[in-house]
Amino acid sequence: MTIPTDPETGEFHRAPNRFTDRITADGRDGWPVEPGRYRLVVSRACPWASRALVVRRLLGLEDVLSVAVADPIQDERSWRFTLDPDGRDPVLGIRFLAEAYHKADPDYTGGISVPAVVDIPSGKLVTNDYPRITIDLSTEWTAYHREGAPKLYPEPLREEIDRVNDEVYADVNAAVYEAGFATKQSAYEDAYQRLFSRLDRLAERLAGNRYLVGDTITEADIRLFTTLVRFDAVYHGHFKCNRNKLAESPVLWAYARDLFQTPGFGDTVDFDHIKRHYYQVHEQLNPTRIVPKGPDLSGWLTSHGRESLGGRPFGDGTPPPPPPRQETLPPQW
């Protein structure tokens, strides 16, 4: 995989998402919410795709929106379904996610990214606009939420959730990549600085509050979680985000463990996919493609003590039941 960086500044810039149609209750973009019609394509390695996996679990949309899990290792044609029999997604019948992108736009030459939502009848990609995908699952798919589904983007808190999300996106979610992919010292140091000063501020905020906004789990926690859960396994070493490990930051480590142990979070996380993807795909950073053995992951299940801060994880709702059998991950340590 080639990593696009600015030759002058050495900075990594993310390409904008090209496919931004929305799947809505009223179908205004031509894509109405409909159970069984769409397929969510993810890599369990990918933090952006993993947001959608968590939201789908918390809202109980597993039977309504099926999921395709790509091989964590992309080849030159990008994401592929080599984990499935005959290397084809059994529902879409395709071998590469690129086929759905090209069905939607035969002239498309940009990146092939996950998460991606594909219209099953036509085989066309509908959207790869990951920040919108999770918000729409919360606000447009309400007719199909499970009983007891939490409100992850409640109206009275939206402004604050959006503000926290913007900060977390710039200084955490994207900054780890900007540190890891930088090709100039100054670009790396700028990202590193922003990352750790933001993490310090988030730790202050979370010291007395169980969750980021309000007293329940929201979209903001999901977006921070998917970066934190990868921190010690890949960002600390591979991306040189090494002022300290997550496990050395008492508040954030307890916060991340609390979420990890909440149904719908840890049960979507596959550390094997995460580690193999980052260490084997970014050959510029890791030319030997050796995947480190560590770190010891068993700490994720230790008690976190955050219950004493109060908070109501699911608000007036309830935790989701365990994942469907076909989505249950094998024990990881």
Catalytic residues: 46, 177
Nearer to ligand GSH, 112 or 246 (CB): 112
Quote the least distance from Cβ 250 to ligand GSH, whole Å: 28
Question: 166-175: buried (b, 16+ CB within 10 Å) or exposed (e) per residue?
Answer: ebbeebbbbb
DSSP conformational letter for 75: B
Among 111, 123, 154, 323, binds ligand GSH (CB under 6 A): 111
Task: Tell the residue number behind the tokens 């009223």, with chain if given.
Answer: 26
Q: SS3 of 313, please?
A: coil
The answer to whether the CB of 225 falls within 8 A of the CB of 212 is no
Among 3, 9, 10, 14, binds ligand GSH (CB under 6 A): 14
**CB under 6 A: which stretch of 110-118, 152-160, 188-196, 294-302 binds ligand GSH?**
110-118
Which 198-237 positions form the footprint of ligand GSH (CB under 6 A)?
none
Among 113, 134, 218, 280, binds ligand GSH (CB under 6 A): 113
Nearer to ligand GSH, 116 or 157 (CB): 116
Contact partners, residue 204, CB within 8 Å, separation at least 6? none
Q: Is 79 annotated as a binding residue?
A: yes
HSE toward the beta carbon, residue 144, CA cutoff 13 A: 20
The answer to whether the CB of 10 falls within 8 A of the CB of 187 is yes
Nearer to ligand GSH, 286 or 318 (CB): 286
**In this structure, what token pair is assigned to residue 60?**
């109980």
Is 114 a binding residue for ligand GSH by CB under 6 A? The answer is: yes
Is 96 a binding residue for ligand GSH by CB under 6 A? The answer is: no
Please identify the residue of the shown chain whose CB is closest to the bound ligand GSH.
Answer: 111
**In this structure, what token pair is assigned to residue 119?**
């219209």
Could you list the residues known to form a binding site, using ranges. Answer: 79
Could you list the residues known to form a binding site for glutathione, using ranges. Answer: 79
